[in-house]
Amino acid sequence: MHYTRDLNVLRLGHVLLTVEDTRRTHDFYTGVLGFRLSDWVCIDDNVRLCFLRCNARHHTMAFAPCMPGKIPRLQHVMLEVDSLDDVMRSYHFLRIHKAPIGMGPGRHINCQTVHVYVQTPGGFAVEFGWGHRRLDDATHQPVVYPPGSPVDVWGGDIQSSEFELG
Ligand SMILES: [Fe+2]
Share of the chain above pLDDT 70, in %: 99
Q: Which CATH number fits domain 9-145: 3.30.70.560, 3.10.180.10, 3.40.50.620, 1.10.3720.10?
A: 3.10.180.10
Express each pLDDT in 15-66 by its tens digit: 999 999 999 999 999 999 999 999 999 988 888 999 999 999 999 999 999 9
Dist. CA 64 → ligand 1 center (Å)? 11
Instruction: Quick: pLDDT tens for 115-150.
Output: 999 999 999 999 999 999 999 999 999 999 999 999
CB 111 within 8 A of CB 51: yes
* Residue ranges of domains in the chain: 9-145
pLDDT of the residue at 166: 79
Compute, in angstroms, the gap from residue 138 CA to the centroid of ligand 1: 24
Q: Is the pLDDT of residue 159 over 70?
A: yes
CA 98 / ligand 1 centre spacing (Å):
22
Ligand 1 centroid, distance to 13 Cα (angstroms): 8
In whole angstroms, give the CA distance from residue 77 to residue 139: 28
Element (H or E) spanning 93, and its range?
Answer: helix 84-96
Query: 131 C-alpha to center of ligand 1: Å?
Result: 12
Q: pTM for the full model? A: 0.94
Alpha carbons 58 and 68: distance in angstroms, whole number:
28
Pairwise CA distance, residues 131 & 116, whole Å: 12
Residue 48 Cα to ligand 1 midpoint, Å, equals: 14
Residues less than 5 Å from ion ligand 1, measured at CB: 78, 127
pLDDT exceeds cutoff 60 at 1 = no
Angle in degrees, CA 55, 40, 94, rounded to 5? 75
Distance 96 CA to ligand 1 centre (A): 23
Write the pLDDT tens digit of every residue in 56-66: 999 999 999 99
Residues 17 and 72 sit within 8 Å (Cβ to Cβ)? yes
For residue 70, give every residue at least 6 positions away whose Cβ sits within 8 Å of its Cβ, in sequence order, or none: 18, 164, 166
How many A from CA of 116 to the centre of ligand 1? 9
